Amino acid sequence: MPPYKELYPVGTKVRVAGRAKLDDFLRTWKFHHPLAPEQLLDADRVAEVVNVGFYHGGDVLYGLRDVPGTWHEECLLPEWLDHFRTEAADFRRLEPSETELVGQWVPVGKRVMGDVTEKRIEWLTQGQLRKLGCDSSGWEVLFVDEADGRYWELTYPHREMHGGGPKCLSTLSREDAVHRYPRVAWTAGGYWTDELRKTVQLLIAQGLRDGAFEKAEAEASMATGALPVYCDMGGCLLIRPDSSIFLFDWEHQAAAPERDPKWLRMAAVRVARRYPALAVLAPQRPADARACSACSGTGLLMGVTCGECVGTGWV
């Protein structure tokens, strides 16, 4: 038989078993090194192993830093088990002072399990934060915390690990969010602020007052309470102060929410061009975008806006 090896080498952090376990051991262990009653007071304490001994080459006995007495192996638990105790679950909303949560995987036998932070990240990203979208690889995910409007990014810093590795949740600025997640258009509810709402309201009021809209546009604006952005023979695209986009149909003189991604993109392109105060709404070119083949990346086809890329030059 191979010699028994200690479970907790010197330097390992262990947790003394709970009171019930120690009581039980005190009552039932009748051999060498019995538990002293005062050792019960150290139930649940965390300490470092400072020495290891083998009683007649068999039972392992431990000495712990700042915890008196000799401890049998079965009265100790690995400290990492703490991560899995349900009472150690840390389900808190993100606090204003927090900027980064880094999860960890802890080996449990031949498997690994997420620690408390990992579980908190899962809890936060599976219901507490609003998901806005993924990056082009599909691995990284952008969230917004509606409590304070901060953006959070879920990443996997050790993606090379089997299973993707532990998660990391870190905050990022609006600028970085727009830059890194260009596909999360503001049309998806991603980046709309109180400031934008006020700007749209102001532009509607100014346009109507100053006669800056075409006659038909002004009618559509008044009918929908929205800012005219782009018109063609079929109708007029307009943006409401709450960021919703409508198509006002000339023929029926009626507005309906626009949902076609191509037209939503067109609205973003046009509103940014037409109203400098809303330039921030222009779609950003993603790192992996390719030049539009229809217009060779110019955005124009025989002098008019390319219908394929709606004038951006990339798709």
Q: Which residues bind Zn ion (CB under 5 A)?
A: 292, 294-295, 306, 308-309
Picking from 121, 86, 128, 91, the residue whose alpha carbon sits closest to that of residue 103 is 121
C-beta closer to Zn ion: residue 227 or 310 = 310
Tokens at 51, concatenated: 């020495």
Q: Which is nearer to Zn ion, 193 or 296 (CB)?
A: 296
3-class SS of residue 240? coil
Cβ closer to Zn ion: 268 or 295?
A: 295
Nearer to Zn ion, 105 or 314 (CB): 314
d(CA 46, CA 16): 6
> H helices within 5-154, ranges in order?
19-28, 116-123
Nearest distance from residue 289's CB to Zn ion, in Å? 12
Tokens 């100053």, residue?
Answer: 210
DSSP H or E stretch at residue 235: strand 235-239
Residue with the two structure tokens 């046009």? 270
Q: Closest by alpha carbon to 183, among 244, 144, 136?
A: 136
Distance CA 219, CA 1 (A): 92
**The total number of residues written for the chain in this structure:** 315
For Zn ion, the closer CB: 98 or 308? 308
Give the shortest CB-309-to-Zn ion separation in angstroms: 3
Q: Nearest distance from residue 177's CB to Zn ion, in Å?
A: 26
The minimum distance between CB 284 and Zn ion, in angstroms, equals 17
Nearer to Zn ion, 193 or 298 (CB): 298
Rounded distance, CA 81 to CA 61, Å? 20
